[in-house]
C-alpha cells in the first residue's frame, strides 16, 4: 500500500484538509495523526477490523489494548461505564494528556481493548486531533504510531520510518508540545490507580481526588513478563533504541567520570558510543558523539526531546549509549519510566 502524507499547520487550518483522512477512518482504514503527547495511529474504535489492522501495522501484541480518543465528554457515555471519580478527573483535565480506564460498554469490541472488559479513553487537546475526531464522527482507537517496541514518534518523519507502506495516510502536524505519552489512571474500581506516569502528575490528580495510588508494577524497574496486562506498557520492552542504553545515576562529577571511563573502554574495543547529557553538563564528557537532551532548568524540554534523541542514536548507528539520569523534578518520574524501559532496566549508581 502507498501511504499518503498531508501537511497541516495546527495553528492555521480550515478542517477541510482532513476530509480524505476522515473518509479513510469511516471506511475502516488507518490514519496517523498528531496529538499533544506523541503521534497516534488511529482507526475506528468500534470497528473490530480496523482495530485489528492497528495491531498488524504496528506488530503489536494482541493483548496490549488501545486508547480510544473522543472529542467531547458526552461521548464517554457511549463507550464506558462512567464513575464519579472518572468524571471528576475528566472535567478537570480534559482535553489534555490524561487517559482514564473505565469498565467498557458492549459497543466497544474486544479487539480494541485487547480482550479486557475495560476501555481506556482520552480527549486530546491538539487542534488537529480534535478536528479529525469531530469531522469523521468516529471514536478513534490509537496507540502511538511506532512499530511495537520502538521509541514513540514525535515527528511525522518518525512515523514514516516505522509505518510507511503499512497504513493509509499520515497527517504531518509538526512536533507535539509534550512529547511523552499520557498519564493513565484506572478509575474503574473503588479507588483511582495510576497505571502509567505522564505529564499529569500524582499531585495534580490528588488536587481533584484525595485518594490516588500508584500501581506497584510501575515502580519496578524491569518490564515484567508474567503480570496481568493492566497497563501493558508495564509488560513489554518499550521505547528502545537499537543500541544498548545504560543510565548512570549520581552526582554530576561522578556520573561524568564513570561515563567517560565506560566510553573509553568501548571505544578501545571498536564500538560506536554516544553520551546523552544536558546543556549544563555536556562539556564534562569525552566522546565523539555528545547530545544534549535539553536544559535541567526546563523539564519540559527534556521530556519533549527524549524520543527524538533515542531515534537520532539509531540514525548514527550508535552501539552503546550512556545517559545521565533525569529523575528529579515534577516530570522526572514520567521521563525515567520511559528511559528505564528503553534501557531494559540497565541503570548503575555511582
Ligand atoms: P500506547 O498509546 O502505545 O502507549 O498504548 C496504549 C496504552 O494504554 C497501552 O499500552 C496500555 O498501557 C494502556 N491501556 C489501554 N487500554 C487499557 C485498559 N483497558 N486498561 C489498562 N490500560 C490500558
Ligand atoms: Mg506506545
Q: Among 228, 233, 334, which residue has the most ligand 1 atoms within 8 Å of its CB, making it the best to mutate?
A: 233
Q: Using the mean position of ligand 1's atoms as its centre, give its distance from the Cα of residue 198 in Å.
A: 13
In which band, very low, low, confident or very high, does the pLDDT at 330 lie, cut at 50, 70 and 90? confident
Strand 192-196 and strand 183-186: pairing? antiparallel
Count of Cβ atoms closer than 10 Å to residue 236 Cβ: 17
Nearest CA to ligand 1 atom 12: 231
pTM more than 0.85: yes
**CB-side exposure of 164: number of CA atoms within 13 Å?**
6
What pLDDT, on the 0 to 100 scale, is given for residue 11? 96
- Residue range 173-203, pLDDT digits in tens: 999 999 999 999 999 999 999 999 999 999 9
Count of Cβ atoms closer than 10 Å to residue 336 Cβ: 20
Alpha carbons 140 and 51: distance in angstroms, whole number: 9
User: Which ligand 1 atom sits nearest the alpha carbon of residue 143?
Assistant: 2
What pLDDT, on the 0 to 100 scale, is given for residue 231? 55
Lateral strand order in the sheet of 244-249: 290-292, 273-277, 320-324, 244-249, 347-349
Q: Using the mean position of ligand 1's atoms as its centre, give its distance from the Cα of residue 284 in Å.
A: 39
- Residue range 297-329, pLDDT digits in tens: 998 999 999 999 999 999 999 999 999 999 878
Question: In whole angstroms, what separates CA 25 from the centre of its chain?
Answer: 22
Pick the range with the lowest mean pLDDT from 86-90, 231-235, 265-269, 313-317: 231-235
What pLDDT, on the 0 to 100 scale, is given for residue 321? 98
Contact 64, 124 (CB under 8 A): no
Nearest CA to ligand 1 atom 17: 120
Strand 347-349 and strand 244-249: pairing? parallel
Looking up cell 475528566 gives: 90
Nearest CA to ligand 1 atom 2: 143
Q: Using the mean position of ligand 1's atoms as its centre, give its distance from the Cα of residue 142 in Å.
A: 10
> Looking at the CA of 40, which ligand is closest?
1
Nearest CA to ligand 1 atom 1: 143
Alpha carbons 200 and 197: distance in angstroms, whole number: 8
Q: Among 36, 66, 183, which residue has the most ligand 1 atoms within 8 Å of its CB, making it the best to mutate?
A: 66
What pLDDT, on the 0 to 100 scale, is given for residue 203? 94
Alpha carbons 100 and 249: distance in angstroms, whole number: 32
User: Which ligand 1 atom sits nearest the alpha carbon of residue 66?
Assistant: 15
Contact 254, 284 (CB under 8 A): no
The residue with greater pLDDT, 158 or 331, is: 158
Strand 4-7 and strand 169-172: pairing? parallel
Q: Using the mean position of ligand 1's atoms as its centre, give its distance from the Cα of residue 66 in Å.
A: 5
What pLDDT, on the 0 to 100 scale, is given for residue 226? 47
Q: Is the pLDDT of residue 224 over 70?
A: no
User: Which ligand 1 atom sits nearest the alpha carbon of residue 236?
Assistant: 10
- DSSP sequence for 182-235: PEEEE-SSSSEEEEE--SS-HHHHHTT-S-EEE-GGGTSSS--TTS--SSGGGT
Q: Using the mean position of ligand 1's atoms as its centre, give its distance from the Cα of residue 100 in Å.
A: 10
User: Which ligand 1 atom sits nearest the alpha carbon of residue 232?
Assistant: 12
Contact residues of ligand 1, CB 6 A cut-off: 64-65, 67, 101, 113, 116, 118-120, 143-144, 181, 184, 195-196, 230-233
Nearest CA to ligand 1 atom 13: 231
Q: Among 120, 150, 153, which residue has the most ligand 1 atoms within 8 Å of its CB, making it the best to mutate?
A: 120
**CB-side exposure of 211: number of CA atoms within 13 Å?**
7
Report CA-CA distances (Å) from 94 to 40, 73, 121, 235, 329. 17, 8, 11, 27, 24
Amino acid at each position: 500500500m502507498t501511504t499518503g502524507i498531508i501537511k497541516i499547520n495546527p495553528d492555521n487550518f480550515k478542517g477541510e484538509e482532513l476530509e480524505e483522512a476522515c473518509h479513510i477512518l469511516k471506511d475502516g482504514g488507518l490514519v496517523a495523526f498528531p496529538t499533544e503527547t506523541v503521534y497516534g495511529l488511529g482507526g475506528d474504535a468500534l470497528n473490530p477490523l480496523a482495530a485489528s489492522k492497528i495491531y498488524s501495522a504496528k506488530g503489536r501484541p494482541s493483548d496490549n489494548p488501545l486508547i480510544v480518543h473522543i472529542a467531547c465528554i458526552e461521548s464517554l457515555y457511549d463507550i464506558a461505564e462512567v464513575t464519579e471519580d472518572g468524571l471528576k478527573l475528566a472535567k478537570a483535565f480534559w482535553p489534555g494528556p490524561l487517559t482514564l480506564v473505565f469498565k467498557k460498554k458492549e459497543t466497544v469490541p474486544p479487539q480494541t481493548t485487547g480482550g479486557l472488559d475495560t476501555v481506556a479513553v482520552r480527549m486530546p487537546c491538539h487542534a488537529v486531533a480534535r478536528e479529525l475526531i469531530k469531522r469523521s464522527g468516529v471514536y478513534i482507537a490509537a496507540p502511538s504510531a511506532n512499530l511495537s517496541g520502538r521509541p514513540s514518534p514525535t515527528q511525522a518523519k518518525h512515523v514514516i520510518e516505522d509505518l510507511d507502506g503499512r497504513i493509509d495516510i499520515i497527517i504531518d502536524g509538526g512536533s507535539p508540545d509534550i512529547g511523552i505519552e499520557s498519564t493513565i489512571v484506572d478509575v474503574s474500581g473503588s479507588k483511582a490507580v495510576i497505571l502509567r506516569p505522564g505529564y499529569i502528575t500524582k499531585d495534580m490528580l490528588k488536587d481533584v481526588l484525595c485518594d490516588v495510588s500508584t500501581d506497584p508494577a510501575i515502580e519496578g524497574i524491569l518490564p515484567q513478563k508474567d503480570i496481568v496486562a493492566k497497563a501493558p506498557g508495564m509488560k513489554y520492552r518499550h521505547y528502545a533504541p537499537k543500541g544498548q542504553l545504560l543510565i548512570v545515576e549520581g552526582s554530576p562529577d561522578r556520573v561524568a567520570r564513570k561515563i567517560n571511563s565506560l566510553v573509553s573502554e568501548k571505544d578501545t574495543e571498536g564500538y560506536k558510543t554516544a553520551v546523552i547529557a544536558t546543556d549544563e553538563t555536556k562539556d564534562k564528557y569525552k566522546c565523539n558523539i555528545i547530545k544534549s537532551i535539553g536544559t535541567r532548568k526546563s523539564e519540559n524540554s527534556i521530556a519533549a526531546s527524549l524520543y527524538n534523541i533515542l531515534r537520532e542514536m539509531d540514525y548514527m548507528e550508535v552501539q552503546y549509549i550512556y545517559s545521565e539520569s533525569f529523575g528529579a523534578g515534577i516530570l522526572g518520574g514520567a521521563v525515567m519510566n520511559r528511559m528505564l524501559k528503553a534501557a531494559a532496566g540497565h541503570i548503575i549508581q555511582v
